[in-house]
Amino acid sequence: MVDPGALGARLASGAVAPLVKKLFVTDLPGAALVTEPVRISGLVSFKGEKRDVAPKDVEKIADELVRRALKAARPGELPVDATEAVAVRTALAHSLAALGTLTIADYEAVALGPEEFTRTLRSRTAVTIATFALSRDAELFLERLLHTASLHILNFFTQRSTYIARQQTRQSQQLAQLVSAVDVLLERLPSQSSEDAAFEARYASYITARHGTLTIYGLDVYAGTSEWPLDTAYLSLAATRDRPGEGAAQVAAEQVLAQHDHVLLRGVAGSGKTTLVQWLAVTAADLTYEHGATHLMGRVPFVLPMRRIVRPGTELPVPADFLAAVGCLVTGEQPAGWVERVLRAGRGVLLVDGIDEIPEERRKDAKRWLRDLTRTFPGNLWLVTTRPSAVPDRWLDTTDFVELTLSPMARDGVETFVRRWHRAAGADDAVGAALLRSVRAASELNRLATNPLMCGMLCALHRERRGFLPQDRKSLYEAALTMLLERRDVERQVAPGPSSAVRLPLTVQVQILQKLAWWLIRNSRSEMDRSDAVHIVEEAAPSMDLDGSGADVYAWLLLRSGLLREPAAGRVDFLHRTFQDYLGARLAVQELDFDLLVNHADRTQWEDVILLAVAHARPKEAERMLRRLVAGNTARGKLLAAAALPYAAEVAPAVRQLVEEGVRTLVPPRTVREAHTLAEAGRDLVLHLLPGPNEVDDELARLVVFAAARVGSPQALHFLTRFRDHPSSWVQLALALCWGGFDRELYVREVIAHLSSRPTVPVHAPEDLRALRAIGGWPDVYVTGAYRVEDLTELIVPEQLTRLTLDAPHPAEGLSWLSAFPNLTDVWVYSHVSEAEAQQVPPHVRLTVRPSHGD
């Protein structure tokens, strides 16, 4: 019997190669580094601008392949009849046409090999081909024909002069990068004892396991686990630094230590500060060095959460006690003097998380501790995180710390998070799409969806409530508590065992958790001893008629509520500080502790507690708090009153006017920091108070732009359009820098397209370049973070570009591709550039290289 697969293989190269060649455009000489990227979809001859043949000609090629294969068969060995031969020809044409959809490069296709490449083509047309209902013999015949064609296609790629030149260039670049990485490691890895080296490997594994997952709100309800692998969950955020005379500059948050050795990073609750710390720790501990972050190669991370290492009556730890202070499980294996040797060699990455989570009276101690460590062990990398107003501006200036602020999630970041959350929860994509539509349509939800914590809450509640979402922060937390405390076990189908004596209604659970939260707030603590928590529960037991002992009730809450956790043996805290503040505020209102709340208005740890207390209070109680906040005649009190105003359900007109007049004394802002603080406090209220473009001088107009942009609402975008014709180039630059917080296409169309000075526009992703391309391109582009040359050469309009800045760990694929831009005159590269790479720059381009931004 004839083997139809063998029959398809009898096609001679002379018969197949000319047909395959017709599928692709004519080859050009050189490395093709300055033309279109060598993607397969850009090489085919039947689509795009370089079309040489019509799409129907692909069917003719497939028909010819089938005809020649059948002609090569011996008499009586035809595996298909004439009707099925037509079906095979059509199916083969569909598979070959799929070449036009492949975005992988030619060298990537060759690396796949003929079998995998064949499967790739078949997967693109599997549903279509299935409709032909081929017999088994016909399927084998088609498979062999496609495999034979794939073999010749890949062979054709390897013979193209562009492929050969590009491969040589790519190999040279990879070799240069490898040599550079080895040089870095040789410099940072001095001779070590075998004991030190062995321990570092074990410690790296521990860091990866300990910090390699993220806790994502709501996933434990639907997916059975709240943990997400860090490598797939991490979302790159932007950090902003205000430079006097230059305006605000943004950089990818994970790159801040590539530019500065000492960084103080501010960010609101849930903004991703701790997640960034985890990412830096795991990346530094990655001994494969495939991450490309050369500034972290050969370094040792030390994660130092302040809530863990600052204990009442104890001193902050010396280096030898770093691991013990955070409860590291491999502390006992640590060689004597190892931490000091690492720090003396300048190989440490010290990640100090949460200055705001320690009592204010201990922050001076923390500042002194940081100063002593940085001076005693120079050359190491330091990242210190805090909430925005926990410490004053330039708090660490004396120790050369650069201050940056973590920006809210941009629209694309929110969309990415929502898609990943629903995929992890096993939800339909349509559910996530519906949530995104709701968030865009409602300004309140749009303001809430600015950080990973809030996005996770919105995702979980949207699914749990089948599309209905609370419209304000207080209602959002109430709904979240109901889901966690009452619905969580139902959704997870978890029930207490028959021997369990504990039965806690929702109201009782909330009351106990409030007592724990209020105790932590009053004592300026972020965590407590388990014994203190049990004692608080036991004191509440008589008035609540609790079933079981205090220890039993505490254990039940820890296991079932989803709000409590034990970060270390014998210690307890809340899943997130936000829930602690919400629950504490509820009890403060119940206990009528309004004086206590207002008296702590100057304490940064109490800000959210006061806001939420206004939300829980009755109208007269809320008005009394607002009056007292303004009457204190402090900037913090006035801003806090303005921020609290929207939380109150009912406010007398006279009180509202009092609050608005109080905050008006702070408008316009005098620094970028004040602009950001004002926006965070006032939100849309600020837009009604900010002056217009003709009411202030150029510098104040620039700061007004930053304040309005920080609000980030549709109303804020409308407000910013009033400044787009401002004559000051600095104001126009500020407008260009602020587009990340808005819908790209809308902002580009409504604001950037109207900027006459054509200022520098920062781009972080291909979508940014597409938005600029939609208005005809832009002359001055600042590329931040890792990039692909293919995206730059495809999406930047060549004739428009005159100035380009590349702010990445290392220039991707050299610099010879700059020849694609005929009018380009200046290129700034914030990275190391080798002599060979510098020689690749076209003669008409002036190259400026800066290893880092500096101060």
Report all structural domains of the chain as residue ranges with CATH numbers, in order of start: 4-165 (no CATH), 205-407 (3.40.50.300), 409-492 (no CATH)
User: Average pLDDT for residues 776-786, to the nearest whole number?
Assistant: 89
Rounded CA-CA distance 592/589 in Å is: 5
User: Average pLDDT for residues 256-261, to the nearest whole number?
Assistant: 86
Judge contact between 605 and 390, C-beta under 8 A. Answer: yes
Q: Is 299 helix (H, G, I), strand (E, B) or coil?
A: coil
List, for residues 549-579, the tens digit of each pLDDT value: 888 888 888 766 767 877 767 888 887 778 8
Q: What is the DSSP string of 623-686?
A: HHHHHHHHHT--HHHHHHHHHHGGG-S---HHHHHHHHHHHHTT-S-SSHHHHHHHHHHHTHHH
- Residue 349 pLDDT: 95
* Higher per-residue pLDDT: 341 or 254: 341
DSSP, res 110: H
* Higher per-residue pLDDT: 555 or 113: 555
Judge contact between 725 and 754, C-beta under 8 A. Answer: yes
The DSSP element (H or E) to which 634 belongs, if any, is none
Of the pLDDT bands very low, low, confident and very high (cuts 50, 70, 90), residue 369 is very high
Q: Which of 149-163, 600-614, 745-759 has the weakest average pLDDT?
A: 149-163
Rounded CA-CA distance 689/538 in Å is: 51
Cis before 55? omega within 30: no
User: Average pLDDT for residues 794-799, to the nearest whole number?
Assistant: 90
Please state the separation of Cα 773 from the chain's center in Å: 24
Strand partners, 228: 214
User: Which residues fall within 8 angstroms of residue 28, CB to CB, at 6 or more apart?
Assistant: 35, 161, 162
Residue written as token pair 């902050």 = 316
- Residue 115 pLDDT: 77
User: Which residues fall within 8 angstroms of residue 721, CB to CB, at 6 or more apart?
Assistant: 750, 751, 754
User: Which residues fall within 8 angstroms of residue 53, CB to CB, at 6 or more apart?
Assistant: 22, 45, 46
Strand partners, 383: 263, 351
Judge contact between 802 and 781, C-beta under 8 A. Answer: no
Selection from 159, 10, 2, 8 nearest residue 92 by Cα:
8
Q: What is the mean pLDDT of the chain?
A: 79
Give me 420's structure tokens: 């990943």
Cα torsion angle, 18, 24, 29, 30, sign = negative
Amino acid at 126: A
Selection from 218, 678, 207 nearest residue 426 by Cα:
218
Rounded CA-CA distance 42/35 in Å is: 11
Report the Cα–Cα distance between both ends of the chain, in Å, rounded. 79
* Higher per-residue pLDDT: 485 or 16: 485
DSSP, res 466: T
Rounded CA-CA distance 6/773 in Å is: 50
Selection from 481, 448, 461, 468 nearest residue 576 by Cα:
481
- Residue 302 pLDDT: 96
Question: At 589, phi and psi to the nearest 5?
Answer: -70, -40
Please state the separation of Cα 793 from the chain's center in Å: 25
- Residue 50 pLDDT: 43
Does residue 451 surpass a pLDDT of 70?
yes
User: Which residues fall within 8 angstroms of residue 201, CB to CB, at 6 or more apart?
Assistant: 287
* Residue 72 CB burial class (10 angstroms; 0-12, 13-18, ≥19): middle
Tally Cβ neighbours within 10 Å of residue 2: 14
* Residue 130 CB burial class (10 angstroms; 0-12, 13-18, ≥19): exposed
Percent of the chain with pLDDT over 70: 77
Give me 531's structure tokens: 């014994």
Question: At 754, phi and psi to the nearest 5?
Answer: -100, 0
Of the pLDDT bands very low, low, confident and very high (cuts 50, 70, 90), residue 252 is confident
Cis before 668? omega within 30: yes
DSSP, res 39: B
Judge contact between 67 and 849, C-beta under 8 A. Answer: no
| β pairing state of 262-266 and 402-406 | parallel
CA-based angle 686:688:690, to the nearest 5? 65
| β pairing state of 803-807 and 780-784 | parallel
Strand partners, 403: 264
Question: At 603, phi and psi to the nearest 5?
Answer: -95, 120
List, for residues 805-829, the tens digit of each pLDDT value: 988 765 556 788 888 899 999 999 8
DSSP, res 604: G
User: Average pLDDT for residues 60-65, to the nearest whole number?
Assistant: 79
Does residue 344 surpass a pLDDT of 50?
yes
User: Which residues fall within 8 angstroms of residue 283, CB to CB, at 6 or more apart?
Assistant: 254, 291, 293, 296
HSE on the CB side for 462, CA within 13 Å? 26
Strand partners, 807: 784
- Residue 483 pLDDT: 72
Q: Is 662 helix (H, G, I), strand (E, B) or coil?
A: helix
Judge contact between 636 and 666, C-beta under 8 A. Answer: no
Rounded CA-CA distance 695/704 in Å is: 11
User: Which residues fall within 8 angstroms of residue 490, CB to CB, at 6 or more apart?
Assistant: none
List, for residues 289-310, the tens digit of each pLDDT value: 555 677 888 899 999 999 888 8
- Residue 137 pLDDT: 76
Percent of the chain with pLDDT over 90: 25
Rounded CA-CA distance 405/739 in Å is: 16
* Residue 344 CB burial class (10 angstroms; 0-12, 13-18, ≥19): middle
**Reading across the β-sheet that carries 402-406, which strands appear in turn?**
247-252, 238-243, 402-406, 262-266, 381-386, 348-353, 300-305
User: Average pLDDT for residues 59-64, to the nearest whole number?
Assistant: 79
List, for residues 178-213, the tens digit of each pLDDT value: 455 555 555 555 556 778 888 999 999 999 999 888
Selection from 467, 457, 139, 192 nearest residue 337 by Cα:
192
